[in-house]
Amino acid sequence: MISADEKKEGETIKNIDPIQHNGKSKPGKTGKAENTPQAENLEKTAPPKTEEEKNFSSTLKEMFVQVTEKGEKMVKTSAAAVGDFTLQAAHQAKLKLEIHNLKNNLEKRYQEVGEKLWQMQRRGEANHIAEAFADDFKRMAAIEETLKIKEDEAERKTEVPEKTDH
């Protein structure tokens, strides 16, 4: 075995392949070849990389960088798509809730109008219907208009509106 004093700076001893050397020399626990005739005949330094090996290493590094960058872009794109989908789904759910609330409000108005009309009929006051229900008719028309806008928006699957600070 070569002592630390005999070893020049930057030199290493190659591991011996047990198959290449008929199993006569096997690496020790440190991964270095043991002191055998075969080990002494090995070169003390690794040969310098050829131009082809350098090009291969460079190409491999470039490919790794490209794959890493593509993976990063895919993750960002996927995250953005999931975020967009989530915002769109939340917006659609909000619209559906607003539509449901508007329909309930309209149903309440219908019931109130019906009750008033019935009471007027019983009292013999049905000839003044337009005056008695003017405010109710205005509120019902406004609700119907808002409902129509919301239903159209829900059908179009519009983009999520810009967030506003409240």
**Residue 85 belongs to what H/E stretch?**
helix 51-123
Structure-model confidence comparison of residues 44 and 93, the more confident one: 93
| Tens of pLDDT, residues 119-163 | 887 788 877 777 888 888 889 889 999 999 999 988 887 555 566
Residue 35 has pLDDT above 70, yes or no: no
- Assess contact for 121 and 133: CB atoms under 8 A: no
Q: Which residue has the higher pLDDT, 146 or 8?
A: 146
Q: What is the pLDDT of residue 96?
A: 92
pTM over 0.95: no
Per-domain residue ranges of the chain: 51-156
- For the chain, percent of residues with pLDDT exceeding 70: 66
Contact 99, 154 (CB under 8 A): yes
CA dist 32 and 16 (Å) reads 8
pLDDT of res. 23 = 47
Burial of 33 (0-12, 13-18, 19+ CB in 10 A): buried
What is the per-residue pLDDT for 39?
Answer: 54
Quick one: average pLDDT of 4-11? 48
